[in-house]
């Protein structure tokens, strides 16, 4: 496997720090799973942060994350800057903006609406700047 790490390469030796990184990695994976449903929770960046935590705490979980059948391929493509398919961009942007518009409509606070607009614009720009992967 291209992303496989040896059992002890880069693993933190301090047990408390290693446990904290391991816990943080799993917390980030959990939040990323929530991000699959909630559009304002950034799934891929959270999974990439989890990979960093696992890289320093557990080669087994690091390898599991990148070999995962649901999101491992997307993570590996993102990490290796291979891009994402055009249909993934379209669906991501469509789901993002529908969710943002509904949220802005339901929330009465102007500052929250402005924040939603800023976050949505930033995510849109980021997605559009990622090269398209040929399927």
Question: pLDDT confidence of 9, banded at 50, 70, 90?
Answer: low
Q: 104 Cβ partners below 8 Å, 6+ apart?
A: 112, 113, 116, 117
pLDDT in tens, 29-83: 999 888 888 766 778 778 888 999 999 999 999 999 999 998 888 788 878 888 8
Question: Which DSSP state fits 14?
Answer: -
Give the chain's mean pLDDT. Answer: 85
d(CA 57, CA 46): 16
72 with 28, same domain? yes
The tokens describing 6, both together, are: 């040896």
Q: Could you say which DSSP state residue 5 is in?
A: -
34 and 74 assigned to the same domain: yes
| Residues 19, 72 within the same domain | yes
Structural domain total, the chain: 2
Domain shared by 25 and 69, yes or no:
yes
Residue 104 domain flag: yes
Domain that holds residue 120: 86-129
Predicted pLDDT of residue 40: 67
């Amino acid at each position: 496997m291209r992303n496989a790490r040896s059992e002890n390469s880069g693993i933190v030796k301090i047990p408390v720090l290693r446990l904290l990184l391991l816990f943080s990695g799993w917390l980030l994976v959990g939040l990323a799973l929530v991000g699959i449903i909630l559009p304002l929770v950034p799934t891929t960046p959270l999974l990439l942060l989890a990979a960093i935590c696992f890289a320093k705490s557990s080669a087994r979980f690091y390898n599991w994350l990148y070999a995962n059948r649901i999101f491992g391929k997307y993570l590996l493509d993102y990490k290796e800057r291979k891009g994402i398919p055009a249909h993934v961009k379209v669906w991501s942007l469509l789901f993002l903006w529908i969710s943002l518009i509904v949220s802005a409509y339901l929330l009465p606070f102007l500052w929250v609406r402005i924040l939603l607009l800023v976050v949505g614009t930033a995510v849109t720009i980021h997605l559009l700047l990622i090269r398209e992967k040929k399927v």
